[in-house]
Copies of this chain bind each other. A is one copy, B any other.
């Protein structure tokens, strides 16, 4: 599970790991449009932008938590599934 505090773009990138810069941006824009993520721009140099969940985003995060737990509980079995 990811931390819940606001994260800067670079932090997010490192935290998520296996995602290209392009896709991370596209996803963030989409989540923002959907009202799940809030984007806060700080007018300064160097640029600083923080992303955080909205209340709506947190509600979805909560709803997905059991699925995350299931994934952890069944990691071995899941990883044993062959690629078709």
Contacts and interface: CB of A to CB of B under 8 A. Distances in A.
Interface stretch (A6-14, A16-24, A43-51, A64-72): A64-72
Q: For the complex formed by this chain, how many copies does it contain in all? A: 2
A11 to B, nearest CB: 25
Interface residues of A, number: 21
A30 interface: yes
A77 B70 CA distance: 27
Nearest to A29: B84
A54 to B, nearest CB: 11
A15 interface: no
Interface string A62-84: 11111101100010010001101
A33 interface: yes
